[in-house]
């Protein structure tokens, strides 16, 4: 079972039309996905995917079994679980350990959205079979208005997890907002309300707020690039010892099963969050199904693609995603769809001006989302103000847009 060849297929995916404009303005997310075809010397093919393209050719010739665990590129590990499972005629989860559950809690997910679109997406997610929605919450929206909107449109039992990525900044700002949020039955929990370095802040929030809190495991959570000391976070050992949270969010961690053991010993729960196609959803399902503590809704974001790489994308039933039962991942890409989606080069980037609009009429315009993020993180702008909203303008090719964009590149443009 040695690897004979690895082939990359860089894909240009497309977000579903209702959320495409909002997803594309968020530079933390991409429509580029790479699917990896890993063929073993026995002719068996395994599939993996990633939102990043990497040259994995150095792994040709290695035994697939040795790549199932340890520090291995996640897409390669995924493909090897698929190929080895097919070779042995067992589902991937059999190679991971004892299966704890045949279906896993599974969440819908989007970037931050305006209230009217959030309402539409809640109903869309519910129709697809989701019962949990993980929503990015940002300071350029009125989060109470969002909660009111969710309460009006969410079906009974439907829960929203609000992911702040530290944007509430400190306990003093966070507590009044979180107190209001916990009044809404549809709010299921909160993720990383303030920077994860702030241990006293989390202790204070925990003493007052009843909503469950999830943190990034042993790391920071903030989208700050200009200052790498802004949120270094604290160790997972300290997060657990000082009881800073109820559970964790994990990415494509190579030691998921080790973390599961730690969480089991300390009675903490977690979910797996790893973005990709239905192939990725299947891998998340297999992985989650053997973990004791993955009782929170995991996610892969694959429902956001207008076209997936499989003809019949995976979908949850009443909030739970059935774990595929076939050999390997139990799901195969459609080669015709793959060929249709392959685009070696991404399309040109679209310039955008995003404007934070306050109810007073003051407008802050930015040419770069990262600058906007940091303006709020560093307290240069007040966030989560009642009535605040975001407007986004794409480059229309006009001289006027070019002039304003150039001005915003120098410094945010303030009017009103």
Mean pLDDT of the chain: 97
CATH 3.90.1150.10 given to domain 3-91 = no
DSSP string, 255-297: THHHHHHHHHHHT-EEEEB---SHHHHHHHHHHHHT-SS--SP
Q: Alpha carbon of 168 to those of 149, 196, 246: distances in Å?
A: 20, 11, 19
Mean pLDDT of 4-24: 97
Residue 71 has pLDDT above 90, yes or no: no
Residue 9: other Cβ atoms inside 10 A: 21
Residue 34 has pLDDT above 80, yes or no: yes
Mean pLDDT of 136-155: 98
Tell me the per-residue pLDDT of 242-298, one tens digit each, with 9 for 90 and over: 999 999 999 876 799 999 999 999 999 999 999 999 999 999 999 999 999 999 999
List where CATH 3.20.20.120 sits in the chain: 103-329
pLDDT value for 74: 94
Torsion of CA 134, 138, 143, 146, to 10 degrees: -50
In terms of C-beta density within 10 A (0-12 exposed, 13-18 middle, 19 or more buried), how is residue 144 classed? middle
Per DSSP, the three-state class of 305 is: strand
End-to-end CA distance of the chain: 66
Strands 320-322 and 363-366: unpaired
Mean pLDDT of 71-82: 95
How far apart are alpha carbons 329 and 114 in whole angstroms?
A: 36
Residues whose CB falls within 8 Å of the CB of residue 51, separated by 6 or more in sequence, listed in order:
30, 32, 33, 34, 275, 276
Residue 40 has pLDDT above 80, yes or no: yes
Tell me the per-residue pLDDT of 120-144, one tens digit each, with 9 for 90 and over: 999 999 999 999 999 999 999 999 9
Tell me the per-residue pLDDT of 312-336, one tens digit each, with 9 for 90 and over: 999 999 999 999 999 999 999 999 9
List where CATH 3.30.390.10 sits in the chain: 3-91
CATH (residue range 103-329): 3.20.20.120
Q: If residue 160 lies in a helix (H) or strand (E), which one and from where to where?
A: strand 159-163
Residue 115 has pLDDT above 80, yes or no: yes
How far apart are alpha carbons 225 and 160 in whole angstroms?
A: 28
pLDDT confidence bin for 70, thresholds 50/70/90? confident
pLDDT value for 29: 86
């Amino acid at each position: 079972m040695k690897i004979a060849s690895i082939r990359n297929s860089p894909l240009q995916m497309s977000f579903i039309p209702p959320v495409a404009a909002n997803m594309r303005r968020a530079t933390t997310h991409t429509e580029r996905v790479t699917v990896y075809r890993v063929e073993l010397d026995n002719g068996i093919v395994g599939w993996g995917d990633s939102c990043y393209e990497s040259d994995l050719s150095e792994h040709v010739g290695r035994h697939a079994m040795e790549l199932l665990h340890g520090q291995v590129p996640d897409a390669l590990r995924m493909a090897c679980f698929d190929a080895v499972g097919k070779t042995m005629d067992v589902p991937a989860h059999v190679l991971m350990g004892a299966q704890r559950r045949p279906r896993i809690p599974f969440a819908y997910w989007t970037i931050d959205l305006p209230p009217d679109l959030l309402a539409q997406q809640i109903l869309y997610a519910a129709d697809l079979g989701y019962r949990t929605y993980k929503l990015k919450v940002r300071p350029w929206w009125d989060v109470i208005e969002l909660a009111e909107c969710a309460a009006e449109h969410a079906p009974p039992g439907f829960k929203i997890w609000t992911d702040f990525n530290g944007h509430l900044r400190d306990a003093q700002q966070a507590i009044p907002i979180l107190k209001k949020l916990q009044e809404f039955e549809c709010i299921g929990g909160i993720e990383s309300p303030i920077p994860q370095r702030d241990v006293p802040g989390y202790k204070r929030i925990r003493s007052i707020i009843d909503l469950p809190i999830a943190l990034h495991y042993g790391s920071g959570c903030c989208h700050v690039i200009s200052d790498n000391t802004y949120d270094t976070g604290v160790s997972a050992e300290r997060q657990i010892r000082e009881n800073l949270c109820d559970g964790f969010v994990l990415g494509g961690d190579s030691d998921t099963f080790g973390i599961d053991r730690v969480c089991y010993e300390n009675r903490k729960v977690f979910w797996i969050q790893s973005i990709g196609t239905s192939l990725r959803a299947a891998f998340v399902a297999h992985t989650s199904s053997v973990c004791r503590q993955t009782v929170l809704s995991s996610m892969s974001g694959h429902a956001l693609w207008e076209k997936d790489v499989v003809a019949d994308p995976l979908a949850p039933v009443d909030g739970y995603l059935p774990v595929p039962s076939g050999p390997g991942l139990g799901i195969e890409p459609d080669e015709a769809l793959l060929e249709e989606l392959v685009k070696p080069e991404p399309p040109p980037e679209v310039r955008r001006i995003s404007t934070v609009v306050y109810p007073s009429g003051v407008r802050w315009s930015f040419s770069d989302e990262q600058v906007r993020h940091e303006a709020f993180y560093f307290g240069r702008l007040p966030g989560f103000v009642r009535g605040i909203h975001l407007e986004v303008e794409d480059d229309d090719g006009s001289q006027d847009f070019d002039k304003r964009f150039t001005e915003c590149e120098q410094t945010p443009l303030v009017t009103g």
